[in-house]
Structure 1
């Protein structure tokens, strides 16, 4: 496959790039710096919110993947992040690409019917704005009916670790292991993410992945 990856230099993005390259895919990595996150990719500098630029980069590719994050400079993140994702969707449409896979957030996962993780007592206050920004974006994607998007939520904890290839997929509910821990390595998240890119098994829906 030929894949454009936006936000390629972040913790998750660079692992998605590595996983995709290891599987033999052609990856164009896009970031503000233009840095190549891993060997074997094509890298370029661009603002993911520049619809014309992203459309030009995405043209002729099989899929667009995003590993974008809300602003982390202390400003209100919700409206800017929603606007960014709207611009990405416009760019994907303009490029004539139908497949879009999105690194999402965990805060909107349900811990009980009608109860989301972000609204639970004890949810970290400093992460709430970012979690709500991701939730807004998921709500937006659920209105997009002309693209085969998939929104991939991590579990409550995701951090660099080992690639085991062993994980579970779920839907809108938070997944936890037998000890009650909801977690995954960034490497295994990337493996699940690239699986979805390859298989298009869950179009126009949100999935989650965890141990």
Structure 2
């Protein structure tokens, strides 16, 4: 199995790359600038410059791209569409890191986390942009996608426990470390449990 991590220099991307390398997988970091990851195989290109040929060698592509700039939030949709088009109609799988805002907080699935009164205002624009990408990828039956959401409190400095729990669409916990999330991403890359589905990762 060959795995590519797009935006591998980022916080999530770097830890997913590290997790995959430590598990002796064939990993390539796709980065715009100088490679800062532990991966020895590198494609140095802007995400929008990637071609079908660039991604053709890989069985799984992890989309770890993120954008918090409120003036560039449309890039969530634009980058996802670009990557989706590149793997359209193939057996390749696209694993997308999404946000927690689109998760439901009620059993009836009528209230999303982003719409609750206590959701921080400063994070709403990003959460809404990521919620939009989930709705967009759900329309793509030509792509073997998996959308993966972290728990609401996504802890970069959190410890790696090596364990986690998952839900399909609901908030079932408060936090998860980036390291445990990375393990869940690599587990999904290997196992392919959630094809054309979303799941969320929480501390166990």
In the superposition, the TM-score normalised over structure 2's length comes to: 0.92
Identify if the C-alpha distance between structure 1 residues 76 and 121 changes in structure 2 by more than 3 Å, giving closer, same or farther: farther
Residue of structure 2 equivalent to 1:84: 79
- Runs of 4+ aligned residues of structure 1 deviating over 6 Å after TM superposition are none
Q: CA deviation at 1:76?
A: 4.9
For residues 147-192 of structure 1, give each alpha carbon's deviation from its aligned partner in whole angstroms, at most 9, with x where no partner exists. Answer: 221101000011222221111011100121xxxxx10110000001
Measure the CA separation in 1 of the matches of 2:97 and 2:182: 9
Partner of residue 201, structure 1 = 193
Structure 2 vs 1, CA of residues 116 and 36 (structure 1 numbering), >3 Å: closer, same or farther?
Answer: same
Pick one of 107, 127, 131 that aligns with 1:135.
131
Note the aligned Cα RMSD (angstroms).
1.5
* CA 1:74–1:149: 2 relative to 1, 3 Å: closer
Retained in 2: the 8 A contact 1:30–1:46?
A: yes
Q: CA shift at 1:28, angstroms?
A: 1.1
Write out per-residue CA displacement over residues 11-51 of structure 1, whole angstroms, 9 at most, x where no aligned residue.
1110100010111111111121141312x43123211122x
Contact 1:64 1:97 (8 Å CA) reproduced: no
The residue aligned with 1:3 is: 3
Structure 1 window deviating more from structure 2 (57-66 vs 189-198): it is 57-66
Unaligned runs of 5+ in 1: 177-181
TM-score (norm 1): 0.89
Distance 2:117 2:168 in 1: 23
Q: What are the within-5 Å matches in structure 2 for residues 59-208 of structure 1?
A: 59-70=56-67, 72-77=68-73, 79-93=74-88, 96-112=90-106, 113-160=109-156, 161-176=158-173, 182-208=174-200
Gaps of at least 5 residues in structure 2 are none
Alignment partners' CA distance in 1, 2:124 and 2:48: 23
Distance change >3 Å, CA 198–CA 175, structure 1 → 2: same
